[in-house]
A and B are shown apart, each in its own frame.
Chain A
């Protein structure tokens, strides 16, 4: 009897487990139309708006924090908390007219003073994007719905920045809250459900019932799952646990498509060599434009795209993205693979007998890329010497310790890109290289009219391609995958689609 009782209990437990198992499965099916479950690769460091980040982390913050301006998937700027905005003649004073019907989830009303405080805090805070507001001299709340921003100098990307983390609006009443890192208080479309959230792993949000723009909220619940491991992300996708996710690379796209997902391609980056040391500080050869051009001719970029990027991407020799005013399609073929021409240019520059280049490597790059670079450079008579930088790869590049390096870099909008890679004080111009012609064009983009900006941007792009400031190979395809129940519009210039760009397919 005793034995059979135990057996009965065991059978009951197993049965309970199995029925519970199927019940849980059904429940998740039923919820799927109301719940959007997204896979992400990174978790936010904090929810404090003044320390927030963007790119891959944008969905975590956009769910809870509104911005002053909203960027549509194609990059155009439309009103959000700011209904309209206007620059003065010399583009140093920006006046924004704000909504008066928005409340933070703690009941605090949103007004110009709250906006001012948030912008001041972000500028002084420790967000990696704090420099977005570098041009902001003063923010002034003229009245409850009028915000006046005075810039120390015109900033063509300023409105763009106000659609990103720089203008995440957090309730001022929560600025000093000790738990703000894990309990955000914003006015966004969702509210973080802290009880159902496992910080660092899975973030659950519920619809903000009092959200001011119902048209932007397409789901009752939002779940953002973080996958630190590529295998677990792939398994979650293949088993249908995610409505959408971004992928680490393109190696698994076939498997993902076979599991019934749609691949939404986007181009964010360019891949190739950075030729930092254009003044020849560390290696005199790099000062000669012919040597830099030879480096552009030396690589079989088509083969590189096939072997490193699995053929997903487009060949290019320019660093500006296709969406940019500076983009010139003809420049994509400016340097075709031509080792003989590379050798001839090197010989002209006085390096017929060869040349040695020092490059950094890292386990992050794997072994393939340094091997391919070494081989292709060897074919034109250049010896590549790689040094393992360990975890200091980026720090060493920016230090600057190397004149040349392989890298994948983001293709931002024009002014951002200029300030990231081209301007004399740009972080990715670590040797602070200056060129009078480039500086003149950069200045025209800085202060010129819209038409002048466009013309100057095109000219600048052509100039730096001719001067071979870089040796780009291709624009790799990034992929965002969605299941059959989910539609998405990928975002120009951002790794993750914006949170309101997801809609149920039915």
Chain B
């Protein structure tokens, strides 16, 4: 097991290295005249040259990359070109916001999906048909429209939640809940639609297996068979779907964070890419790649726990 984890960790580090190297070279090679953009169109050439020198952009690309890489491994990702903040500070302070959204949405989606999927798979008939139709609808409506609808109803009209802004959980749990509930719901709806379909399919397949009949014949209650045995068997594929959804939600969070003015990775990504703030974009790339690697590792471990055969392979 340790070897398995170690192997996955090493491949994760390698993946991080490849992703960041490619991203760095692509971003810097296509960065254009960033110094001019920072100082503005009416600044003099001397100001542009001074700015480029301040940012170290007057050095060869590979030298810049080597400096970035050697600093990055020590945890120093440089400073934002546009607000002077340390990239690590900017990114880490925002990771918690995005993670709380994405994790919240994933947990809610997982819980809700399982309940709905079991209901649909066991009851079948009209229940199943309704669940499937609603699922298609959940897929079809874009997340930002759901977010706008939620803000309009629950924040602007009913005033139950905050329309914009973020209150850290350390400041006030209630305040935090009032700022993240709507974004989490907005994010989780599309996710539920996907996971329900997957779990429902796996459950229907599993319910047809011989061992279900055997267990029932031995006198186990239907609920016990479904929740203790069938769900565990259907859990593997569902986890894989959840992992994909989690990673997909990182992208979905970009728009939702904009709509709710949440200081998450999405917001910093939009601002930094729009401005050409490459150190920050690189920081986001590193953070997202690390999250993706970590999620995949966790899912592998969870699948190993659910299904011992995975560990052997």
Of all chain A residues, the one with the shortest Cβ separation from B175 is A24
- Contact status of A128 and B42, CB under 8 A, knowing A19-B174, A21-B177, A24-B172: yes
Decide if A235 is an interface residue (CB 8 Å cutoff): yes
How far, in whole Å, are A22 and B174 apart by their CA atoms in the complex? Answer: 8
How far, in whole Å, are A130 and B165 apart by their CA atoms in the complex? Answer: 35
Interface hits, A270-287 → B, CB 8 Å: none
How far, in whole Å, are A236 and B163 apart by their CA atoms in the complex? Answer: 6
Decide if B64 is an interface residue (CB 8 Å cutoff): no
Interface hits, A1-25 → B, CB 8 Å: 16-25
**Which residues in B have their C-beta under 8 angstroms from that of A182?**
83-85
How far, in whole Å, are A427 and B90 apart by their CA atoms in the complex? Answer: 35
Interface hits, A423-442 → B, CB 8 Å: 427
Decide if B260 is an interface residue (CB 8 Å cutoff): yes
How far, in whole Å, are A241 and B161 apart by their CA atoms in the complex? Answer: 12
User: Are A200 and B84 in contact, with the CB atoms below 8 A?
Assistant: no
Stretch among A96-104, A108-116, A223-231, A327-335 lining the B interface: A223-231
User: Are B47 and A232 in contact, with the CB atoms below 8 A?
Assistant: no
**Which residues in B have their C-beta under 8 angstroms from that of A233?**
261
Minimal beta-carbon separation of B142 from chain A (angstroms): 14
Decide if B93 is an interface residue (CB 8 Å cutoff): yes
Of all chain A residues, the one with the shortest Cβ separation from B160 is A21
User: Are A198 and B263 in contact, with the CB atoms below 8 A?
Assistant: yes
- Contact status of A126 and B38, CB under 8 A, knowing A20-B174, A235-B164: yes
- Contact status of A126 and B39, CB under 8 A, knowing A200-B83, A201-B261: yes
Decide if B41 is an interface residue (CB 8 Å cutoff): yes
**Which residues in A have their C-beta under 8 angstroms from that of B38?**
45, 126
Q: How many residues on chain B are close to A (CB under 8 Å)?
A: 51
Decide if B162 is an interface residue (CB 8 Å cutoff): yes
How far, in whole Å, are A290 and B162 apart by their CA atoms in the complex? Answer: 58
Residue of B47, B162, B172, B259 near A239 (CB, 8 A) is B162
Decide if B258 is an interface residue (CB 8 Å cutoff): yes
Decide if B50 is an interface residue (CB 8 Å cutoff): yes
Minimal beta-carbon separation of A357 from chain B (angstroms): 23
Of all chain A residues, the one with the shortest Cβ separation from B43 is A128
How far, in whole Å, are A47 and B267 apart by their CA atoms in the complex? Answer: 21
**Which residues in A have their C-beta under 8 angstroms from that of B36?**
395
User: Are A232 and B263 in contact, with the CB atoms below 8 A?
Assistant: no
Decide if A487 is an interface residue (CB 8 Å cutoff): no
Of all chain B residues, the one with the shortest Cβ separation from A236 is B164
Give the bracket for the number of chain A residues in contact with chain B: 35 or more
User: Are A394 and B41 in contact, with the CB atoms below 8 A?
Assistant: yes
**Which residues in A have their C-beta under 8 angstroms from that of B94?**
198
Of all chain B residues, the one with the shortest Cβ separation from A18 is B174
Q: A33-64: contact bitstring with B at CB < 8 Å (1 yes, 0 no)?
A: 00000000001111110000000000000000
Q: What number of residue pairs across chains A and B have CB atoms under 8 A from each other? A: 141
How far, in whole Å, are A16 and B177 apart by their CA atoms in the complex? Answer: 10
How far, in whole Å, are A180 and B86 apart by their CA atoms in the complex? Answer: 11
Residue of A20, A45, A131, A239 near B164 (CB, 8 A) is A239
How far, in whole Å, are A427 and B148 apart by their CA atoms in the complex? Answer: 42
User: Are B173 and A231 in contact, with the CB atoms below 8 A?
Assistant: no
How far, in whole Å, are A250 and B148 apart by their CA atoms in the complex? Answer: 21
User: Are A128 and B39 in contact, with the CB atoms below 8 A?
Assistant: yes
Q: B266-286: contact bitstring with A at CB < 8 Å (1 yes, 0 no)?
A: 011011000000000000000
Residue of B44, B162, B173 near A16 (CB, 8 A) is B173
User: Are A130 and B259 in contact, with the CB atoms below 8 A?
Assistant: no
- Contact status of A21 and B43, CB under 8 A, knowing A182-B83, A239-B155: no
User: Are A239 and B83 in contact, with the CB atoms below 8 A?
Assistant: no
**Which residues in A have their C-beta under 8 angstroms from that of B85?**
181-182, 199-200
How far, in whole Å, are A198 and B90 apart by their CA atoms in the complex? Answer: 8
Of all chain A residues, the one with the shortest Cβ separation from B97 is A198
**Which residues in A have their C-beta under 8 angstroms from that of B165?**
202, 225, 236, 241
How far, in whole Å, are A398 and B43 apart by their CA atoms in the complex? Answer: 11
Decide if A458 is an interface residue (CB 8 Å cutoff): no
**Which residues in B have their C-beta under 8 angstroms from that of A16?**
173-174
Residue of A19, A45, A198, A202 near B84 (CB, 8 A) is A45
Decide if A238 is an interface residue (CB 8 Å cutoff): yes
Decide if B207 is an interface residue (CB 8 Å cutoff): no
Of all chain B residues, the one with the shortest Cβ separation from A396 is B41
**Which residues in B have their C-beta under 8 angstroms from that of A181?**
79, 83-85
How far, in whole Å, are A46 and B275 apart by their CA atoms in the complex? Answer: 14
**Which residues in B have their C-beta under 8 angstroms from that of A238?**
156, 163
How far, in whole Å, are A182 and B89 apart by their CA atoms in the complex? Answer: 11
**Which residues in B have their C-beta under 8 angstroms from that of A202?**
165, 263
- Contact status of A229 and B259, CB under 8 A, knowing A20-B175, A23-B174, A182-B85: yes
Decide if B193 is an interface residue (CB 8 Å cutoff): no
How far, in whole Å, are A231 and B261 apart by their CA atoms in the complex? Answer: 9
Residue of B93, B177, B258 near A198 (CB, 8 A) is B93
Interface hits, A378-407 → B, CB 8 Å: 394-395, 398
Minimal beta-carbon separation of B277 from chain A (angstroms): 9
Q: B138-158: contact bitstring with A at CB < 8 Å (1 yes, 0 no)?
A: 000000000010010001100
Q: A331-360: contact bitstring with B at CB < 8 Å (1 yes, 0 no)?
A: 000000000000000000000000000000
User: Are B41 and A395 in contact, with the CB atoms below 8 A?
Assistant: yes
Interface hits, B173-192 → A, CB 8 Å: 173-175, 177-178
User: Are B39 and A24 in contact, with the CB atoms below 8 A?
Assistant: no
User: Are B40 and A128 in contact, with the CB atoms below 8 A?
Assistant: yes
Decide if B51 is an interface residue (CB 8 Å cutoff): yes
**Which residues in A have their C-beta under 8 angstroms from that of B133?**
none
User: Are A24 and B167 in contact, with the CB atoms below 8 A?
Assistant: yes
How far, in whole Å, are A487 and B70 apart by their CA atoms in the complex? Answer: 53
How far, in whole Å, are A126 and B259 apart by their CA atoms in the complex? Answer: 33
Q: Residues on A close to B: CB < 8 A?
A: 16-25, 43-48, 126, 128, 130-131, 179-182, 198-202, 225, 227-229, 231-233, 235-236, 238-239, 241, 394-395, 398, 427
A-B contact list, 30 entries, CB within 8 Å: A16-B173, A17-B177, A18-B174, A21-B177, A22-B174, A44-B83, A45-B81, A45-B82, A46-B84, A126-B47, A126-B54, A128-B39, A131-B42, A131-B43, A131-B44, A198-B263, A199-B85, A199-B90, A202-B165, A227-B261, A228-B261, A229-B261, A231-B259, A232-B258, A232-B261, A233-B261, A236-B165, A239-B162, A398-B42, A427-B42
Contacts A198-B263, A228-B267, A239-B156 supplied; 14 other A-B pairs, CB < 8 Å: A21-B174, A21-B178, A128-B42, A181-B79, A182-B85, A198-B94, A231-B259, A232-B163, A232-B261, A236-B164, A239-B155, A395-B41, A398-B42, A427-B42
Give the top 9 A-B pairs by smallest Cβ distance, nearest first: A20-B174, A181-B84, A128-B40, A239-B163, A24-B175, A201-B263, A232-B261, A235-B163, A21-B174
